[in-house]
Structure 1
Amino acid sequence: MDGPTYLELWCYPGDWTNYLRMDEPTHLELLSSVTPVVTKPDTCMRKAITPNEILTATLRYLATGRTLEYLKFSFRIAPQTLGKIIPDICEAIFKALRNYYKEGWENVAREFEHRWNFPNCIGAIDGKYVAITPPSGSGSYFYNYKNFHSQVLLGIANANYELLYFSFGTNGRVSDRGLFETSDLSKKLEDGSPNLRKEGTVAGKKYAVCANGC
């Protein structure tokens, strides 16, 4: 069993963040944003899966990289159904949040220096391997060095652990450098569209920005 079921989380608020990687108020705010998009009508055969169930299962999937077969025990949802609804709600989350978090790069750098004594940093970047069942005929295309098939979730966070950017879908064989180079963020840094100045000053210190591992 993959820990407590989502219903038990309401009884143990202290475990909420550990289980879903976000606190309850944030979860409820995100739920309110995606509910209109992912709500399905009940039928004469069965009741529809609720938006809360769908969102909680998706967050647990993204947080752990567990297989759909494994997650079915926590959420009582068939793996085939999870495979259909998780991409849908990920798209709904993206559309709901794409313009939600707007912050100047200089403010991000100031916060990193103030909180972590790390000047001229505009984001902490990392990737997460999400286990997948590879498409038929894909061979070793998605097979990573950890010996399982995956796609990579790339994220950039500010000094307060808040996500500024994410990208998902690159095959697990790609190196860290290759992962960044294939992201749309790398391309936007090259053409200047993120509004990030190539040179500037933060807290009296000069900085320079470059992309593609330079």
Structure 2
Amino acid sequence: MTSMHYQYLVGLTTVSAIISETCAVIWKKLCPLVLPSTINTEEWQRIAKTFSNTWNFPHCIGAIDGKHVVIQCPNNCGSMYYNYKNSHSVVLLAICDADYVFRFVDIGAYGRRSDGGIFKDSIMGIKLENKQLHVPEAAPISDERETPLPYCIVGDEAFPLTTYLLRPYPGKQKITPQKRIFNYCLSRARRVIENSFGILVSKWRIFRKPIIASVLNTTRIIQATIVFHNWLREDDLNNCPNLSYVEPHLVDRESEIGSVVGGTWRDITGTTAFSDITRADTNTSTRTAIEVREEFCAYFNNEGAVSWQNDYL
């Protein structure tokens, strides 16, 4: 904003106001078109089918993760935005589909909070808990299994294990090979949210370094980039001529033997506005949630196995 203030010879406050108002209008107009607040059952099933075809993970309707968006210290904020990495931040929590399209976002939570706590108190978390998002009913995951399994989102250790959210088995050395295979399969599906955040950093230069703006303006900037991302990504998926927002080399991809070829977004070096949230949530879970994960684990070790998975234990 300071460089624009000098470049265009307008007041710094005016620059800030223009950016804030413009981002607010972008969010207001595009959000209903590219980030609707509700998804019908048929669309959830289409998302699940894409996850199954692309990442061999059936009944997956999204991948969830959060990022600290590093900001300058807000005025009179106390310790609310001060996170455990010794910086000030707001949290961007997002669920995306297998096509790198954001489906739900929660923007602006205090940096001191954990992913799991933010998700639990967010509108999307509350609606998932109360079964208000039109998610398809539980159904058998394959012809060989009669036990109905719910449709789930996948996340990392920062999130709680529930019947609608799968997380990895905790620990790396003491778990069985079967559980390691489940963790591997889950990490493959969860990679889409990492790629989605990587696309944001690559394409939107505002995220290349900590954001110097008020909390309100930072939130509006993030909102504008999210809806622009979805708008451009949907043009990609509709084969819009002369437009390629996400080039194949930009995101992580797999070789024929299952090894990961890192996307070019990982080549971005130095400090960016995004930092990981690594504080783990509680490992306590309901018996039903544990049984659901066990059923998925059994599936991936039998009829749902991919030929190379034992090479990555």
Does the pair score TM above 0.5?
Answer: yes
Q: Does 1:96 align with 2:29?
A: yes
The Cα of 1:189 is off from its aligned counterpart by 1.2
Q: Does 1:177 align with 2:119?
A: no
**Aligned pair in 2 of structure 1 residues 198, 160: CA closer, same or farther (>3 Å)?**
same
The Cα of 1:86 is off from its aligned counterpart by 4.3
- The percent of aligned pairs where both chains have the same amino acid is 36
| CA distance in 1: counterparts of 2:141 and 2:21, whole angstroms | 40
| CA distance in 1: counterparts of 2:91 and 2:12, whole angstroms | 20
CA contact (8 A) 2:61 2:97 kept: yes
> Residues 40-70 of structure 1: CA distance to partner in whole angstroms, max 9, x if unpaired?
xxxxxxxxxxxxxxxxxxxxxxxxxxxx56x
CA contact (8 A) 1:130 1:153 kept: yes
Other structure's SS at 2:95 match: strand
- What amino acid is aligned across from residue 208 of structure 1 in structure 2? P
Matched with 2:67 is 128
Other structure's SS at 2:64 match: strand
| CA distance in 2: counterparts of 1:186 and 1:80, whole angstroms | 37
| CA distance in 2: counterparts of 1:79 and 1:150, whole angstroms | 23
| CA distance in 2: counterparts of 1:179 and 1:108, whole angstroms | 24
| CA distance in 2: counterparts of 1:121 and 1:183, whole angstroms | 20
CA contact (8 A) 2:59 2:152 kept: no
Listed as ranges, the gaps of 5+ residues in structure 1 are: 1-67
Higher relative contact order, structure no. (Cα contacts within 8 Å, ≥ 6 residues apart): 2
TM score, norm. by length of structure 1 = 0.55
| CA distance in 1: counterparts of 2:111 and 2:135, whole angstroms | 29
TM score, norm. by length of structure 2 = 0.40
Matched with 2:236 is none
Other structure's SS at 1:153 match: strand
The Cα of 1:126 is off from its aligned counterpart by 1.7
**Aligned pair in 2 of structure 1 residues 126, 146: CA closer, same or farther (>3 Å)?**
same
- What amino acid is aligned across from residue 183 of structure 1 in structure 2? S
Q: Does 1:109 align with 2:48?
A: yes
| CA distance in 2: counterparts of 1:132 and 1:183, whole angstroms | 22
| CA distance in 2: counterparts of 1:117 and 1:210, whole angstroms | 14
Matched with 2:181 is none
How many residues align? The count is 146
The Cα of 1:176 is off from its aligned counterpart by 1.4
**Aligned pair in 2 of structure 1 residues 135, 108: CA closer, same or farther (>3 Å)?**
same
The Cα of 1:135 is off from its aligned counterpart by 3.8
Listed as ranges, the gaps of 5+ residues in structure 2 are: 154-158, 163-313
Which residues in structure 2 correspond to 1:17-28 (within 5 Å)? none
Matched with 1:194 is 133
Which residues in structure 2 correspond to 1:1-214 (within 5 Å)? 72=4, 80-81=13-14, 83-101=16-34, 104-201=43-140, 206-208=148-150, 213=160, 214=162
The Cα of 1:198 is off from its aligned counterpart by 4.7
Other structure's SS at 2:57 match: coil
- What amino acid is aligned across from residue 124 of structure 1 in structure 2? A
**Aligned pair in 2 of structure 1 residues 130, 117: CA closer, same or farther (>3 Å)?**
same
CA contact (8 A) 2:59 2:141 kept: yes
The Cα of 1:78 is off from its aligned counterpart by 6.6
